[in-house]
Structures are given as C-alpha cells and as structure tokens.
C-alpha cells in the first residue's frame, strides 16, 4: 500500500504520454482529406441540431447546414463521411444521441447496396476514430474493422499511426490539441467545375437486393428512431451515377411505407431544382460543387419544412449563435461562388 | 498469439491478476490453466501433442522413480544379508528396467518430433535418390504435417527431464499438474529457453508473493526485449529480405551489409524474445534460465557457442556429447586410436566424433533442410580446426607478442563475429547451400560503393536506416554496460525523476519506432519455426 501513490502517478504519467502521442500522431485532416474532420468537428460546431444528416460523401458535398439555416431556419449538422456504411451511420446516430437529440434524421441510402467488401481502412478511420461515446465507438469498430486492422488502434491511435514519425509536419504539432474547424457544420465547400463530365447510362442489374448487413442496420436505424421518437427520412441525394436503379427505389418505398416513414429519391427532381450536371458537379455527376449544393439545400429545406416542420425559433441564444456562424459562412460562400462563376465562364458551353 | 501482440499483453495481465489473487499454493495451477489456454488459443487441436509428451513423461518418470524407490527399500531391508555382488546385480537389474522405460519414452517423443519435423525432408531425399540412382519418377507423396507450436523446445525440455530422472539426478515429480506446467509454461513455450526441471521448479511452483522490485525488473526486461525485436530486428529485416531476394543483382557490399544486419536481426529477434520470456516470468516471480551472454563479444567460436542459445548448447552437451564421450564403445575407440595415432590426435578423436554428432543434430534441430546440416557441420569443422591449429596460433601470437592485449582481443572478437555472421548466411538462404555460397562469395569479392538510394531500394530509407543503426548502437552500449551487472537493477537505483524519464523515453522509442501494425509486415519470431 505504501507504493500505491507511486503506482498511481506512474499510471497517470503513462496515460498522459499516450494521450500526448495520440494527439501528435493522429492525422489532422486540415490541409488535406478534410472530410476526416467531420466527425471531430461535430462536437465543436453542432449546436443542438434539429436535423442530422447521415450517409456517404455525396451528402457532405450537397447539403450545407449553414445555407439550410439561412433558407429555412433549420439547424442541422452533416455527419456524413466518405464511404460511410449503414452500420457506421447507425453507430454515429447512437453517438449523436449521447450529445443531443435531433427531431429528424435524414439518411442517404446510397450505400445500402454495399456490403463488407467495401470496407476500407482510411474510410473507417475517418468515420470512427474521433467518435466520443466509447460504447458507440466500440460498436462501430467491431462492426467495421477488417481482419487487417487492429481495433485497439482506434482507441489508442498512436498504435496505428506511429509509423508517421517520418512524415510529421508542423501542423501535427500545432494542431495537436486545438485543431481548427475546416468544414461548415460538416459541409465541404468545393467551387470547381471539371473540364469534362461523363455521365454513364445505367447498367442492368442481376440482383436488385441490398447488402444483407446494410439492410440489417437500416432496420436498426428505423427501430432506434422509433424508440427515441425521432422522425426518419430515407433519401437518395441527387446524383447521376449509373449504380442506382429503380428496383432500389421500389424496395425502399415498400420498406418506408411499412414503417410509416418517407423515402424520396431526389435525383429525378434535379431539373426542378435547377441543377445542371455540367456545371453543378465536380466529378461526373456524383459530388456537387457549391452551386449545386445551394440549389439542393434550398429545395431540401422547403421539403423538410413542408413535411416535418422541425424549424423553431424559440431559442434566441441558439438563433444568435447560428446567425454568427452564418456570417462566417456567407463570407466563405461568396468567395466560393465567385470562384465557381469564374469556372462557369470557362466551361459554360454545353452547360445544359 | 505473438509475444509482441497486444493480445499477449492482455492475456498476461489477466493471468497476473488471477495469479496474485489466488492463495500461494494454488498459483501454479493458475499458470497451468493459462499455459493450456495459451496453447489452445494458438494451436487448437494440436494441444494433443503436448498432452502426449506430458503424459508419457509423467508416467515414465513415475515408473522410473518407483523402480529406484523399490531398489532403495530392498537394499536397505537386505543391507546385512546381500553380498556386494548381489547388490550390484540388483542395481544393474533396476537400472536396466529404468533404461527400457527411458528409451521407450525417448523413442516415442523424439519419434513424434522426427515424423512431424523430418518426414517430408526424408521423403524429399528418398525421391531425389530414386531419381538420381534409378531414374525413377514414381515419387512418394509428402505428408505436409503441421508442426505444433514449440514442439522442439518442449520435447527437448521434457526428454532432458526424463534422462535426468533416469540418471537419478533428482526425483520424479509426483504432482502431474506441476509436471504439466513445467512442460507447457506459456512464456517460454514459443522459443525457449530449454529449462532444467531442478532449476525452473524452484520458483515455478513456489507461488511467490508479489515483489514490486522484481516486477519492475521484469517490466524493464520486457521493454528491452520489445526494443530489440520491434525497433532493431524487424526494421533490419526489411533490408535483409530485400538484399537476399535480389542477391543476384545486388552488389557484394550490399550483401555484406545484409550479412551484418542479419546478425543484428537474429540477435535482436531471438534474444529479444528471450528477454520478453524472462521479463514475463519475473512478473510471476519465476526465474527462467538466461540464454545469451553477450555472444558478439566472444573471442572464439567455442566461446560464442557457450554464450549464444546457452540452454540448447548445454542440452546437447549434457545429453549427447558427454554420454557419447563416456560410452563404452567410444572409450574403447579412444584407447585404440591413442595406441595407433598417438596421444594427441588419438585422444581427441572420440571427442571429435561426439562433436560431429552434436553439430549434425544441432543443424537438423534448426531446420529440416540440407543447408542447416551444412551449417551445423561447418561449425564442427571450424571448431575442430581451431583446436588442431591452436599450437600454430600460439606460435603466431608469440611472434606478434600481442596475446591478451586490447588489439588482440578486438581482433579475436572481430574474427569470431564475422565467422559466425558468414555461417549464418546458410540460415538466411532459403534457396539452399548454393545460394548461400554465392552470397558469401559475392559479399567478399564484389566490392562496390554503398549509396543511400540503393539501400532504400533494398528496403531501408534514410530515416529507417538511421533508426536501425542507432538501435544497433544502443544494443552495443547495453552489452558493454552489462559487464558491470544488471542494467535493470541499476535503473531501479536511479533517482526517481531520472528513472521515470528514462522509462518514458524507452516506452516512447518502442511505441514510435517499433515495426508493428499496419504498414509493416508483422513478423513471427525467427526461432518460432524451430
């Protein structure tokens, strides 16, 4: 017992060192791969969001929570990530519920067709490693980590990233404990228009069924929302990729109907929103630039207000906070739109 | 479950907690349960082999123990009535019974080891002979047996115990659980050391009380083992593999560097693993035999083999070398050879015969391939040559007048290091003896300038090379400091701030610079395959 204080001090020192190394070695996702910051920034930026968006990368390119607030008064956060699987969406939702309870969860269903064969370590890392609720995080790790990964590395990141000692940059030290926010409530702003856009015709599919594991977790999300009294919107963001089929829409409409929730595929409504493939996307009709994002966000805000009406302006403090955030966003968006317009002039030919 | 994995750390932690929560007299049972759990987790159904070895060892030694007990009782009861010859006759009869049991046990266990380890090697050679001599292509099929974890180590350890009991060096263990623990003790099952029952049993079954000093020494020893294995050995392995895989294109100097690095790699790998074994054992209050004594400071090959893989060397010496040299036939041979060849070489001939057997067996023990046999026999040739050429050395040293000087010691250490390093090329060359000879020849004759670019192409970039070299330097400094006594104990005597600072730095070095996890090829301990 005499040595207990010394043992406690040694354990504390060990924990302190580990935390220090974790913070230095974990990738910062500041100057590149910024989508890796979305999970981390949720705990910093999100102010009691009424709507939470979940899904794959198309979501954080086409929905701007700040612009949504401006257009429709809805507070939200975009918790989508590149290649976010349905099981990751489920655990992110559980993690969200430990922080705040949204009124509506809007889930992009693009990844319903993708099973475990789509698991990739970088994507897993970006989604999971900054999650704060340990139980949700453990669930996400166990359901996501491939055989090639070491689950402990998600909780003690230096075990995974120690080999970065050769590649550490100044930003790894500078932002070790106070990394700045690089997204706008999860939205990644992009102003580019590519030189060419290729739109491929849909290919016929043999098996229109969803990946069993993805469907299992969709059911879990539905169940969780029901139990928590949260509205759930299943949506397909507007894309022109050839991997989505009407059979999927039919199956989802059936599932939504039987659970008393809504499903909407926004892709056929792109024209109505004024979205143009040539100038509103950054890559072959999949991820939107700022112009496309603003058009879709405005439409989505109207859709949510018409069908769910979650917007409330009872809380003056919250309103003030969002207005301040909006100021910063509008400044960045103005620059983004100016850059987009410049690109538009260059590639406007054939914009229709 | 590798000794360097987090799973092993968690497993050991679980074992430690339960071990120290148990009353002292039951602690060996905790170790036994965890040892079997470790074996089953790692090898599954192959646990049957270790069970067979344990059961046969227990039964055989108990029977032998019974024979010796009855002999003792009988002789005591009939002390007055029996003549000296009758006593001798009775003893011989008892010994003969015990011998039969020992031989049967050795045959069974070495038979299992032989079939599992050498059946395919034998089949390959039979096929080759049939093809060469009779041009027959009717090849025998391979058995492809799975080699259970640590079979060579636990078989040698158990059979050493059987032989010791046979010779009456100590009594047979009555408690089957204690014997089972001796055979399967998990920290040493993967790569030894090959412990003696009378030494290991002193602490293994004692259920020692928690001792914080011993515990800390154990932790430092584990840390040092991890450093050697993860920071040095596994890092250098990338270059060694790269150079050896491209030995036909790589310049001689690059191969020479690979030969040097491989010596460092195998030392870091094997002695690092042993450090972990000794360290983990210390956490349980168990003392395991040391297996290395700064071997790269040896001044002769014979000395090197007394300081490298000590327990294997001692095993071969005690159970093969000495029994051969004192056997009736060899003594007769010795007598005849002294008469015919002369007192000098004639006296040494039987010793060489025993040495030949030992080194042939040592080669085979390291692997079922001819390159290992050649490696073993080359050791024998060098050792024999060293003995025979000793008068010549002495005369040369007399002329140079440098014997015992610092320069002479350095020369001797340098010479021994490189002889052993070149011998190790046979271990390194998966392509066989021919490949080993090409590598040795090229590294000695094809001199070319080294460039960092080419070293990087072979597997180590500038930063990795720097860390590897610093790691080697630290190993050297550690070895030099070891001459003054235990470094772990010296660390414990440091002022607390210095000790904690050192510990933090050492931990960070292993965590940051260790070659583990994704981005690195996870490596098994090299001696795991033996």
Instruction: Dump pLDDT digits (tens) for B33-50.
Output: 999 999 999 989 999 999
How far is B52 from A298, CA to CA, in rounded Å? 75
Which tokens sit at B200? 């290991």
Chain B CB within 8 Å of residue A2 CB: no
Range of the domain at A267: 31-167+181-347
Contact at CB, B508 and A160, closer than 8 angstroms: no
User: Is residue A220 packed enough to be buried (19+ CB in 10 Å), middle (13-18) or exposed (0-12)?
Assistant: middle
Number of folded domains in chain A? 1
Q: How far is A177 from chain B (nearest CA, A)?
A: 19
pLDDT given at position B527? 53
* Residue B504 contacts A, CB cutoff 8 Å: yes
**H or E element, residue A234:** strand A231-236
Helix (H) or strand (E) holding A76: strand A76-78
Query: Which carries the bigger pLDDT value, residue B336 or residue B214?
Result: B214
Residue B158 has pLDDT above 70, yes or no: yes
Instruction: Check whether B477 has a pLDDT greater than 60.
Output: yes
**A172-206 burial string, b = 16+ CB within 10 Å, else e?**
beebbeebebbbbbbbbbbbebeeebeeeeeeeee
Selection from B433, B505, B442, B509 nearest residue B471 by Cα? B509
Verify whether the Cβ–Cβ distance B500 to A10 is below 8 Å.
yes
Identify all chain A residues contacting B495, using CB atoms and an 8 Å cutoff.
none
State whether residue B407 sits within 8 Å of chain A by CB.
Answer: no
Taking the Cβ of residue B490 and every Cβ of chain A, the question of whether any pair is shorter than 8 Å is answered with no
Q: Which residues on chain B are in Cβ contact (under 8 Å) with A21?
A: 508, 511-512
The answer as to whether A245 is a domain residue is yes
Tokens 């263990």 found at: B173
DSSP string, B233-282: IHHHHHHHHHHHHTTTTS-HHHHHHHHHHHHHHHHHHHHHHHHHHHHHHH
H/E run at residue A107: strand A104-108
CATH of residue A192's domain is 3.40.50.1110
Residue A103 lies in a domain: yes
**Is there a contact between A163 and B520 if contact means CB atoms under 8 Å apart?**
yes
Per-residue pLDDT tens digits for A206-224: 777 888 999 999 999 999 9
Chain B residues touching residue A156 (CB < 8 angstroms): none
Which pLDDT belongs to residue B62? 96
A153 touches chain B (CB under 8 A): yes
List the single best residue of B502, B511, B520 to mutate versus A (max A Cβ within 10 A). B511
What's the CA dihedral at B267, B273, B274, B275 to 10 degrees?
Answer: 100
Residue A9 included in any domain = no
pLDDT at residue A205 greater than cutoff 90: no
Nearest to B173 by CA among B208, B151, B198, B207: B198
DSSP string over A31-42: SS-GGGGHHHHH
* Joined tokens for residue B43: 């090898």
Check pLDDT > 60 for residue B6.
yes
Residues of B within 8 A of A152 (CB-CB) are 6
Which residues in chain B have Cβ-Cβ distances shorter than 8 Å to A119? none
**Over residues A180-185, mean pLDDT:** 92
Residues of chain B contacting residue A150, judged by C-beta atoms under 8 Å apart? 6, 517-518
- Comparing alpha-carbon positions, the chain A residue that sits nearest to B522 is A148
By Cβ distance, the residue of B212, B508, B520 closest to A21 is B508
Q: Are B508 and A22 in contact (CB under 8 A)?
A: no
Residue A351 is predicted with a pLDDT of 47
CA distance A109 to chain B (A): 31
Interface of A with B in 289-318 (CB under 8 A): none
The first and second tokens of residue B152, run together, are: 């060579």
Q: Between residues A31 and B223, which one has the greater pLDDT?
A: B223
Sort out which chain A residues have CB atoms less than 8 A from B514's CB and list them.
162
Strands A104-108, A51-54: pairing kind: parallel
Fill in the DSSP letter of residue A110.
G
DSSP string, B444-457: HH------HHHHHH
pLDDT at B522 over 70: no
For residue A204, is pLDDT > 50? yes
pLDDT recorded at residue A200? 73
Question: Within the 205-224 window of chain B, which residues sit less than 8 Å (CB to CB) from chain A?
Answer: 212
Contact B512 A162 (CB under 8 A): yes
- What is the rounded average pLDDT of the residues B174-191? 95
Contact A3/B at CB under 8 A: yes
Whether B445 has a pLDDT exceeding 80, the answer reads yes
Q: How far is residue A67's CA from residue A75's CA, in Å, rounded to a whole number?
A: 10
Which pLDDT belongs to residue A278?
87
Which of these, B510, B309, B287, B289, lies nearest to B424 by C-alpha position? B309
Question: Is residue B234 scored above 90 in pLDDT?
Answer: yes
pLDDT at A53 over 70: yes
Q: Do A150 and B6 touch (CB under 8 A)?
A: yes
pLDDT tens-digit map of A315-337:
777 888 888 889 999 999 999 99
Q: Which residues of chain A from 181 to 220 reach within 8 Å of chain B, CB to CB?
A: none
Average pLDDT, chain A: 89
Chain A CB within 8 Å of residue B506 CB: no
CB contact under 8 A, B512 and A165: yes
How far is Cα B123 from Cα B142, in angstroms, rounded to an integer? 7
Q: Which helix (H) or strand (E) holds A262?
A: strand A262-265
Q: How many CA atoms lie within 13 A of A185 on its CB side?
A: 27
Q: In Å, what is the CA distance from B11 to each residue of B4, B41, B46, B505, B510?
A: 12, 11, 20, 25, 20
pLDDT of B133 reads: 85
Chain B residue nearest residue A1, CA to CA: B212
- Choice between A201 and A100, residue whose per-residue pLDDT is larger: A100
Smallest CA–CA separation between A182 and chain B, in Å?
Answer: 28
> Rounded to whole angstroms, how far apart are CA atoms A226 and A228?
5
Element (H, E) at B53: helix B47-77
Contact B339, B502 (CB under 8 A): no
Percent of chain B predicted with pLDDT > 70: 98
pLDDT digits (tens, 9 = 90+) for B100-145: 999 999 999 999 999 999 999 999 999 988 888 888 777 888 888 8
Residue A320 is predicted with a pLDDT of 83
CB A90 within 8 A of CB A137: no
pLDDT at A311 over 70: no
Q: Quick one: average pLDDT of B6-34?
A: 95
With tokens 């430690």, the residue in question is B16
- Per-range mean pLDDT, top range of A165-169, A272-276, B14-18, B385-389: B14-18
Contact B500 A159 (CB under 8 A): no
Mutation target vs B (from A125, A150, A161, A172; most B CBs, 10 A cutoff): A150
What φ, ψ does residue A184 adopt, rounded to 5°? -110, 90
Place of tokens 């395919």: B120
Lowest mean pLDDT among A141-155, B277-291, B368-382: A141-155
Residue B492 has pLDDT above 50, yes or no: yes
Q: Which two tokens stand for residue A113?
A: 């067709």
Angstrom distance (rounded) from CA A77 to CA A60: 10
pLDDT of residue A41: 92
Q: Which of A20, A162, A169 is nearest to B467 (CA)?
A: A162
Instruction: Determine which helix (DSSP H) or strand (DSSP E) holds B188, and give its type and residue range.
Output: helix B186-189
B167: its two tokens: 């010779």
- pLDDT at residue B451, as a whole number: 94
CA nearest neighbour of B435 among B304, B245, B232, B257? B245
Q: What is the pTM of this model?
A: 0.87
B-contacting residues in A 116-135 (Cβ below 8 Å): 121
Question: Which residues in A lie closer than 8 A to residue B520 (C-beta atoms)?
Answer: 163
**Chain B: residue nearest A19 by CA?**
B508
The answer to whether residue B521 scores a pLDDT higher than 60 is: no
**For A83-140, what is each residue's pLDDT tens digit?**
899 999 999 999 999 998 999 999 999 888 887 777 788 889 999 999 999 999 999 9
From chain B, the residues in CB contact with A153 under 8 A are 517-518
**What is the DSSP track for B344-374?**
HHHHHHHHHHHHHHHHHHHHHHH-SSHHHHH
HEC letters along B155-214:
HHHHHHHHHHHHCCCCCCCCCHHHHHHHHHCHHHHCCCCCCCHHHHHHHHCCCCCCCHHH
For the ranges A113-122, B452-461, B491-500, the lowest mean pLDDT is seen at A113-122
d(CA A77, CA A37): 13
Report yes or no on A225 lying in a domain.
Answer: yes
DSSP annotation of B153: H
Residue B471 touches chain A, beta carbons under 8 Å: no
Interface contact B512, partner A, CB < 8 A: yes
Contact A165 B511 (CB under 8 A): no
B83 — pLDDT class (breaks 50, 70, 90) = confident
Question: CB–CB of A92/A143 below 8 Å?
Answer: no
For residue B92, count other CB atoms closer than 10 A to its CB: 11
CA-to-CA distance for A92 and A85, rounded, in angstroms? 10
Nearest partner of A259 among A236, A235, A231, judged by Cα: A231
Identify whether the C-beta of residue A79 lies closer than 8 Å to the C-beta of residue A42.
yes
CA distances from A70 to A53, A116, A326 (A): 17, 38, 7
Cβ within 8 Å, pair B520-A14:
no
Q: How far is CA B409 from the centre of its chain?
A: 26
Residue A352 pLDDT greater than 50, yes or no: no
Percent of chain B with pLDDT over 90: 73
Better-scored residue on pLDDT, B95 or B350:
B95
Give SS3 for A194: coil
Least confident piece of the model among A126-130, A239-243, B254-258: A239-243
* Distance to chain A for B516, nearest Cα, Å: 8
Q: Does B497 touch chain A (CB under 8 A)?
A: no
Split at pLDDT 50, 70, 90, the class of B523 is low
Whether the CA torsion A73, A79, A81, A86 is positive or negative: it is negative
Nearest chain A residue (CA) to B213: A3
Residues A306 and A262 sit within 8 Å (Cβ to Cβ): no
Given a contact cutoff of 8 angstroms between Cβ atoms, the answer to whether A186 and A65 are in contact is yes
Give the count of beta carbons closer than 10 Å to the beta carbon of residue A152: 17
């Amino acid at each position: 017992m005499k040595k207990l204080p010394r043992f406690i001090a040694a354990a504390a020192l060990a924990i302190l060192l580990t935390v220090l190394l974790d913070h230095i070695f974990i990738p910062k996702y500041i100057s590149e791969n910024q989508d890796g910051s979305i999970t981390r920034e949720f705990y910093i930026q999100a102010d009691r969001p009424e709507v939470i968006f979940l899904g794959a990368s198309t979501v954080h390119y086409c929905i701007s929570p700040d612009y949504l607030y401006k257009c429709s008064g809805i507070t939200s956060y975009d918790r989508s990530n590149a290649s976010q699987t349905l099981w990751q969406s489920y655990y992110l939702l559980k993690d969200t519920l430990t922080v705040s309870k949204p009124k509506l969860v809007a889930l992009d269903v693009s990844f319903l067709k993708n099973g475990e064969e789509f698991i990739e370590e970088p994507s897993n890392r970006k989604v999971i490693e900054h999650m704060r609720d340990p139980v949700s995080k453990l669930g996400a790790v166990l359901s996501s980590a491939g055989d090639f990964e070491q689950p402990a590395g998600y909780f003690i990141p230096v075990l995974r990233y120690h080999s970065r000692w050769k590649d550490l940059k100044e930003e790894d030290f500078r932002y070790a404990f106070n990394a700045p926010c690089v997204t706008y409530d999860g939205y990644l702003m992009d102003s580019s228009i590519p030189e060419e856009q290729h739109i491929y015709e849909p290919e016929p599919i043999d098996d229109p069924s969803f990946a069993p594991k993805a469907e299992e977790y969709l059911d879990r999300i539905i169940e969780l929302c029901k139990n928590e009294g949260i509205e759930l919107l299943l949506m397909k963001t507007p894309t022109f990729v050839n991997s989505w089929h009407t059979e999927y829409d039919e199956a989802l409409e059936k599932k939504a109907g039987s659970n008393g929730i809504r499903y909407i595929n926004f892709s056929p409504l792109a024209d109505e929103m004024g979205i143009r493939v040539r100038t509103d996307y950054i890559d072959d009709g999949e991820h939107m630039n700022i112009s496309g994002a603003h058009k879709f966000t405005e439409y989505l805000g109207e859709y949510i207000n018409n069908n769910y009406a979650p917007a409330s302006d009872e809380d003056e403090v919250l309103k003030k906070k969002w207005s301040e955030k909006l100021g910063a966003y509008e400044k960045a968006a103005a620059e983004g739109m100016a850059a987009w317009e410049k690109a538009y002039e260059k590639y406007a030919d054939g914009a229709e | 479950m590798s000794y360097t994995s987090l799973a092993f750390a968690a497993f050991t932690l679980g074992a430690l907690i339960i071990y120290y929560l148990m009353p002292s007299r039951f602690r060996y049972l905790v170790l036994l349960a965890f040892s079997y759990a470790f074996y089953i987790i790692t090898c599954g159904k192959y646990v049957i082999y270790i069970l067979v070895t344990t059961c046969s060892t227990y039964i055989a030694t108990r029977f032998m123990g019974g024979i010796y007990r009855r002999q003792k009782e009988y002789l005591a009861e009939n002390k007055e009535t029996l003549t000296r010859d009758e006593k001798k006759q009775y003893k011989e009869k008892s010994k003969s019974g015990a011998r039969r049991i020992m031989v049967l046990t050795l045959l069974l266990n070495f038979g299992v080891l032989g079939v599992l380890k050498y059946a395919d090697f034998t089949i390959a050679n039979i096929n080759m002979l049939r093809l060469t001599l009779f041009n027959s292509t009717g090849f025998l099929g391979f058995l492809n047996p799975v080699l259970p974890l640590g079979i060579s180590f636990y078989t040698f350890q158990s059979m050493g115990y059987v032989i010791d009991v046979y010779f009456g060096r100590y009594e047979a263990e009555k408690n089957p659980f204690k014997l089972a623990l001796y055979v399967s003790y998990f920290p040493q099952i993967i790569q030894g050391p090959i412990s003696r029952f009378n030494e290991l049993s002193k602490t293994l079954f004692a259920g020692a009380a928690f001792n914080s000093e011993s515990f800390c020494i154990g932790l430092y020893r584990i840390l040092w083992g991890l450093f050697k294995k993860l920071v040095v050995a596994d890092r250098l392995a990338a270059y060694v593999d790269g150079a050896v895989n491209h030995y036909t294109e790589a310049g001689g100097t690059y191969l020479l560097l690979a030969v040097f690095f491989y010596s460092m790699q195998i030392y870091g790998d094997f002695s690092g693993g042993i450090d972990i074994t000794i360290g983990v054992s210390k956490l349980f209050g168990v003392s395991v035999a040391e297996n290395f004594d700064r071997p790269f400071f040896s001044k002769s090959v014979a000395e090197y083999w007394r300081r490298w893989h000590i327990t294997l060397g001692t095993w071969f010496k005690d159970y093969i070398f000495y029994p051969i040299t004192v056997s009736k036939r060899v003594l007769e041979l010795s007598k005849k050879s002294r008469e015919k060849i002369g007192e000098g070489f004639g006296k040494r001939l039987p010793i060489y015969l025993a040495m030949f057997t030992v080194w042939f067996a040592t080669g085979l023990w390291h692997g079922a391939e001819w390159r290992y046999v050649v490696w073993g026999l080359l050791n024998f040739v060098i050792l024999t040559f060293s003995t025979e050429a000793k008068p010549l050395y002495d005369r040369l040293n007399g002329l140079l007048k440098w014997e015992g000087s610092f320069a002479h010691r350095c020369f001797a250490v340098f010479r021994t290091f490189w002889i052993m390093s070149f011998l190790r090329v046979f271990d390194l060359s998966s392509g066989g003896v021919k490949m080993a000879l090409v590598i040795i020849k090229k590294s000695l004759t094809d001199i070319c300038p080294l460039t960092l670019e080419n070293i990087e192409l072979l597997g180590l970039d500038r930063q990795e090379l720097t860390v590897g070299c610093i790691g080697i330097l630290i190993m050297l400094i550690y070895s030099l400091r070891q001459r003054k006594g235990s470094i772990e104990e010296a660390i414990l005597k440091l002022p607390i701030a210095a000790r904690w600072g050192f510990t933090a730095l050492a931990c960070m070095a292993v965590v940051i610079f260790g070659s583990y996890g994704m981005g690195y090829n996870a490596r098994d301990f090299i001696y795991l395959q033996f």
